[in-house]
Structure 1
């Protein structure tokens, strides 16, 4: 349509009245179509010029955002907003050319709290930025669904964990029952020195199994209880150095060479040092077990705009493909000795830090655990706003 209009404008002097009228009608219809599309969208759209003034906004934007009463067109976006906190945020972001991508903002209406996701995109024409486009999406229901899904996943995990506990408890209980019967039999044969020694051996075994039961329960409670995390500003590189300073003698004994590649631009993160060290230690212990003949353990950190990555890569035996999806499941283990909760607890700790953990492995080549942690952003403000919705 645009090319057609450009050609028509070049020849407008040669057009008669009817042709001009037809051209104007085409333009009007095209404009009405675009306007209909824009105003039918459920997402808010605000178009800004080069000076960040509002030149166009749709009904959804007026419904979702706290704009001032009256005409806000040709006013800077921050001046068009009724909320001072929101106005201050956009003023700073636009003037300082800060990136606004999927920025979550909470708005308190008279009925509920609404969560919005805002993204600012440049308007580019002929290779030059000529304004901005603010996209506003209401993600309230999406966030609620995610919360419900997390609750369902937690319930499913708890069910699996409980079944695992029941299975683990059966073995020591069976052993205790058998040895109590043997003790009763020994007592029935009368008291003598040999029986006393035998009974003591049986009691030692019972005590060991009781301790084993206690360990199972402690691990279970740790896995299901909410963690009382104490988040403090911490440099991840410093935490990594402290951990490997503690464990480097064990690595040397196992003939494991340690390699570091740590990003110097590492920002401070909100971490619980105790829990994070425990999570990393569990991963390193697995790596040591995977390299019985020695090998190389490579630790790398990378700082990005809004997140950091920590990878721990070993040159061990690797994980069979059929076990890859089970590795974080409670009580799944390929070791002869072990609770099967080590990586489950790692997963829980990383999630408590709002992070993600991913796994890559090939048999005979090694395994890489990659932990992604968010870089703290400015505290999200709850903006008070009385909606104009009916």
Structure 2
């Protein structure tokens, strides 16, 4: 039956022609009294033409049938494809060459908090923070100039109805047949859990870095501390023997003994600051006083290395709000690095001054200096110019300075020395109330530190 359908046109069209010309043919035969030759030729040509027209009809009919089948399959495929795309948790997108959204699937609303209709036609940068936008531009430029058709980049969507959200974008660059760039298409996948895990890992590494830095600092200060404790202990032992032997002025001996005990207590208190928990407690204090404590702690270690720490500031207090433990940690690390950079001895100049509402702490040494190609890397985790260093000390210091709203500036010259300037916001006179104001970061940690 199917085979017969293939020849429907070639059967029906000639038959139709025969039916149409049959009356004419019969009339001619009766009139002529026979079948003329020319009529036979005419009839053959007409039937051949009818056959060809029927063949064309059959071919067109088959083509239409195939197109109808293809359209049906396409509609089914399109329907299921649309349902599949709409069921994705990932966002499927397309943009034009200017970066404006052309297509977004329904998952966009749950990811960004904005509806598809209100987003279409907008530039993609409207939905992300500036840092992410710069990252996208950088990744796009690299892919475009290198001839790559794909790139990946992490994006932080702007705060919307849902709040901020981290997504990973897989982007394909689209070109027309002439090689002209016409837009992009790709997928956005939510990566909030991954980003939170990365942040926790960074915080953990930072905590470990602080702990490691403190332990390293404590170990390097051990020689100086031992010297600071041994001298008072020797004096105490001597005066106790004098008292035991019946010395005349026992009260004077007692005063000296208590003085030496207080000296030991001061050194031990400075050491204990290094082992306290890292929860920050911001107090309004005199920065110079804290710097004096650090100098006292490091002075013996410096003298053992033939180094003098010069304090280029007066006794007039300079107030700022800071965590004393953390700022001392910063000063200890920087001055300790200066000591280590001067194997042949020298001077360290410590300056503190206030200018235009800011407090400047300057540490200048006469050490070996830092190579220019390494200067930009100073403060990066695990970067160090020392053979035995961990590269964590200054990284921790810079983080602490940043948390105090400060900035760091470093200049250095080989064989001449290095200068590090820390700049902090000062506490203005009209902001002080005559007492130390406490601002605890983390109530639980602050209570534990008490």
TM range (shorter): 0.3 to 0.5
More helix by share: 2
With normalisation by structure 2, the TM-score equals 0.39
Q: Which has the larger radius of gyration?
A: 2
TM-score (norm 1): 0.44
Structure with larger RCO (C-alpha < 8 A, sep 6+): 1
